[in-house]
Chains A and B, each alone.
Chain A
Amino acid sequence: QVQLVQSGPEVKKPGASVRVSCKASGFTFIAYVIHWVRQAPGQSFEWLGWINAGSGNTRYSQKFQGRVSIIRDTSATTAYMEVRSLRSEDTAVYYCARVGTNDAFDIWGQGTMVTVSS
């Protein structure tokens, strides 16, 4: 079964960092690009960045450049996204999504709720 399974919910204090994992199964991980987006409560989606799981090349939204990092572990078929210097506005559900051959996000993870609160 083609799927992306993300790690569980996180509660962090302002200034901390969080790392969310995205485990791929059912497809050839290194053949795809994995994107990360987030959805704050009551808001639409915001794109954070992507990683080419084969080459490891990354690209980030300018808004998050320097504060977000995306890496992958090919042996574990897992992508990871880290957000540093968390603030309350980073409270959101974070999703990983695979780019399919149609260039759109054809497979999504179930989402990871990250809550930033003092």
Chain B
Amino acid sequence: EIVLTQSPGTLSLSPGERATLSCRASQSVFNNYFAWYQKRPGQAPRLLIYGTSSRATGIPDRFSGSGSGTDFTLTISRLEPEDFALYYCQQYGSSLQTFGGGTKVDIK
């Protein structure tokens, strides 16, 4: 099982600031099959990034993903009020898909 460790656990920032979220995998992710999801309370998760760096349909370009192998990053260039939420990483390159523990982005 590939274990995904997200850091930091909580990121306290102000609107307009840049957010950098990290996710480290316990082993290399096949074919960079790596995604990021946003989760707001009471809502279903929303796909932000797939294939490590491709934005999903309708996702603003302030969201970007990067990385390879075992280290992956989600960057939000300028935080908007609606971006304060939980973010989860996921690897889907192995038969047992796994998720990270989440990073909460909250308002400073």
Contacts and interface: CB of A to CB of B under 8 A. Distances in A.
Given A105-B47, A106-B47, A108-B45, A44 B100 contact: yes
Given A102-B56, A105-B37, A44 B102 contact: yes
A95 B50 contact: no
A45 interface: yes
A67 B37 CA distance: 28
A104 B50 contact: yes
Interface in A85-118: 95, 97, 100, 102-106, 108-111
A102 B44 contact: no
A100 to B, nearest CB: 8
A59 interface: yes
Interface of A: 35, 37, 44-47, 59, 61-62, 95, 97, 100, 102-106, 108-111
